[in-house]
Amino acid sequence: MNTILSVQQLGYTFPGDVIALSGIDLSIRQGRCLALLGPNGSGKSTFLQHLNGTLRPQHGRVLLQQQPVAYSRQGLNLLRSKVGLVLQDADDQLFAASVYEDISFGPLNQGLTAAEAGQRVEAAIQAMGLGGLENRPPHMLSGGQKKRVAIAGALAMAPEVLLLDEPTAGLDHAGIAQLIEILQSLMQCGITIVFSTHDVDLACRLADDIALFAAGRLIGFGERSQILLDQAMLLAARLKPSLLLQMVAFARDKGLLATDAAMPRTDHEIMDLIGKWQQAACQPA
Amino acid sequence: MTLSIDQYAHLSRWRERPVLEKALLAIGMLLLAISLPPWPTAPCIIASVLGVTLLGARVPLRLWLRCALIPAGFLLTAGLTMLFDVGRHDLSFSAAGLPVVCGLLLRSFAGICCLLLLALTTPVTDILASLRKIGLPREIAEISLIMYRLVFLLLDTASAMHTAQAARLGQRNRKQQLRSLGLLLANLFPRAMDRAGRMENGLAARGWNGEFKVLRRTRPLSLARLTWTSLLLGSVLLMGSLFS
């Protein structure tokens, strides 16, 4: 599979010698969903901000489709057209007088005509389920709605990669469920997704690959099951294996779940499996 | 939290009507109220504009009363003081001024009705966009727009900080209140700068290059409504000039 974005030996230090990132090597494959998993202050957000040029690396470099990113206006415009960013706090992103106007901001900056931009906006409104809210000002939206407007604003630029910083922060249960559905539908459209989180279950639910961050270092990178079922590694990153992960690990230990079988993504999937195991156990051989 | 006038405007039934139509009615009536003698123009204007506001745009009467109360209070106090002559040694009631004061009050109240019609059906941002069309410089329009957006965020932050202070007895007496206010303001500034920085990043991520280009959806003018408005303005003009 093609690598769309990669970083080499990335390092970044905040003023006051606070090391945010050091020696990060990572390749993001096209069409996959990558979770940046780690506790607060592990460098996930700083890393994300490097991927669309918000931050410029102090050490190492960022490559877009194998080409080093040029930090000129032109280079940044190219990078940001391909890599959309959704900030953690939607209020930092929404500025316009209405939902419709806000979403149109990115496409117009890309130099699209009003007609083309209008189509992009309509499509993004449809995809994010924002119909009926087009004329609302941002301060009259709920948290979940603001988040969806922020995603729509990035999506309207037709990016190949969508970066989301802590996408579920501040959302209630229903809001999170809706967000997950939206991200899943985006993945089906072939958009590469990179999101940061400290929620192991969210990573298990959505991600194909996981990059595990701890104290500014990348301490693990691989397929979902490879990272999430390694308890020692999770604990090293100050994360706790959830009940779901513990049950999966247990089922594997006991030979109920084959090591090459797909790892369950949700509570419901593991409960379905338990039902099947029970049925199998009750049937006479 | 009570909704602001602007938020009601966003929810108004007339929200979707072109600003020009609403402005023609409201500003047109306002100009008539200012330029014609108050009797009988002002009562006509009050009746027709109020009718349009309450029945046409369906602004709830309670909301309208709440909004009209404050400016009406100012008017009354101003009117009352004008009824008295301040002499060198005394204060005397001047009955002769009564008709003038009544006329002035009627005229001003008609003006308030006109402006409330516009304010309760047209959000600030729509008015800004229209002003931009008739020549308000881009920079001023954009700065006003951003300020309008950020004022709400700043108020939210300030009210959250105030609640947090009150929860830790920061408002327990006058002296402490003053100290807390100082702390709040001092903290608000770096927070605002911080937010501005993050907002700039967010805008840059969407290719911002110094200009806030957005798509505005324009709504077609209705010839019928424009005609009705003109007829209404015309009849008030006619009545005002014939019967005064």
Residue B165 is predicted with a pLDDT of 86
Share of chain B above pLDDT 90, in %: 43
How many Cβ atoms are within 10 Å of A261's Cβ, its own excluded? 12
Q: Of A112, A106, A118, A120, whose CA–CA distance to A150 is shortest?
A: A106
Tokens describing residue A163: 């970066």
Of B152, B199, B207, the CB nearest to A109: B207
Partner-chain contact B149 A138, CB within 8 Å: yes
pLDDT digits (tens, 9 = 90+) for A223-237: 999 999 999 999 999
* Average pLDDT of chain B to the nearest whole number: 88
Q: How far away is chain B from the Cα of A71, in angstroms, using its nearest Cα?
A: 13
Residue A61 is predicted with a pLDDT of 96
Residue B187 pLDDT > 60, yes or no?
yes
Average pLDDT of span B70-93? 85
Residue A16 pLDDT > 90, yes or no?
no
A134 — contact with chain B (CB < 8 Å)? yes
Residue B129 is predicted with a pLDDT of 87
> In which band, very low, low, confident or very high, does the pLDDT at B214 lie, cut at 50, 70 and 90?
confident
Residue B6 pLDDT > 90, yes or no?
no
Q: Are strands A192-197 and A33-37 parallel, antiparallel or unpaired?
A: parallel
Residue B1 pLDDT > 60, yes or no?
no
pLDDT digits (tens, 9 = 90+) for A89-124: 998 889 888 899 999 999 999 999 999 999 999 999
Residue B183 pLDDT > 60, yes or no?
yes
Average pLDDT of span A263-273? 92
Partner-chain contact B214 A77, CB within 8 Å: no
Preferred mutation among B127, B215, B216, B219 to probe A, highest tally of A CBs within 10 A: B215
Partner-chain contact A154 B201, CB within 8 Å: no
Question: Residues A33, A193: contact at Cβ < 8 Å?
Answer: yes
Of B146, B149, B213, the CB nearest to A105: B213
How many Cβ atoms are within 10 Å of B123's Cβ, its own excluded? 24
Tokens describing residue A198: 């400290």
Contacts of A33 (CB under 8 A, 6+ apart): A183, A187, A192, A193, A194, A195, A206, A207, A208, A209
CA distances for B192 relative to A211, B150, B155, B206, angstroms? 33, 9, 11, 21
pLDDT digits (tens, 9 = 90+) for A171-187: 999 999 999 999 999 99
Q: How far away is chain A from the Cα of B137, in angstroms, using its nearest Cα?
A: 18
β partners of residue A35: A195, A210
> In which band, very low, low, confident or very high, does the pLDDT at B98 lie, cut at 50, 70 and 90?
confident
Question: Residues A157, A107: contact at Cβ < 8 Å?
Answer: yes
Q: Of A68, A58, A67, A70, whose CA–CA distance to A216 is shortest?
A: A58
Highest mean pLDDT among A18-22, A136-140, B88-92: A18-22
Residue B96 pLDDT > 90, yes or no?
no
Residue B20 pLDDT > 80, yes or no?
yes
Residue B50 pLDDT > 80, yes or no?
yes
How many Cβ atoms are within 10 Å of A105's Cβ, its own excluded? 25
Average pLDDT of span B175-182? 89
Q: How far away is chain B from the Cα of A137, in angstroms, using its nearest Cα?
A: 8
Partner-chain contact A91 B153, CB within 8 Å: yes
Share of chain B above pLDDT 70, in %: 98
B131 — contact with chain A (CB < 8 Å)? no
The CA distance from A97 to B123, in Å, is 9
Give the residue extent of every domain in chain B: 5-130+220-243, 146-205
B217 — contact with chain A (CB < 8 Å)? yes
Share of chain A above pLDDT 70, in %: 99
Average pLDDT of span A53-75? 94
β partners of residue A86: A164
Of B7, B204, B215, the CB nearest to A117: B215
Partner-chain contact A153 B152, CB within 8 Å: no
pLDDT digits (tens, 9 = 90+) for A182-228: 999 999 999 999 999 999 999 999 999 999 999 999 999 999 999 99
The CA distance from A36 to A207, in Å, is 9
B13 — contact with chain A (CB < 8 Å)? no
Residue B91 is predicted with a pLDDT of 78
The CA distance from A252 to A267, in Å, is 16
Partner-chain contact B207 A49, CB within 8 Å: no
Average pLDDT of span B219-243? 91
Q: Which residues of A touch B125 (CB under 8 A)?
A: 97-98, 137
Q: Which domains does chain A have, with CATH numbers?
A: 3-241 (3.40.50.300), 242-285 (no CATH)
- CA within 13 Å, CB half, B226: 8
Residue A169 pLDDT > 70, yes or no?
yes
pLDDT digits (tens, 9 = 90+) for B194-210: 888 898 899 999 988 88
Q: How far away is chain A from the Cα of B169, in angstroms, using its nearest Cα?
A: 27
> In which band, very low, low, confident or very high, does the pLDDT at B146 lie, cut at 50, 70 and 90?
confident
Residue B54 is predicted with a pLDDT of 95
* Average pLDDT of chain A to the nearest whole number: 93
Residue B189 is predicted with a pLDDT of 87
Q: Which residue of A has its CA nearest to B126?
A: A97
Residue A167 pLDDT > 90, yes or no?
yes
Residue B176 is predicted with a pLDDT of 87
Residue A281 pLDDT > 90, yes or no?
no
Residue B191 is predicted with a pLDDT of 87
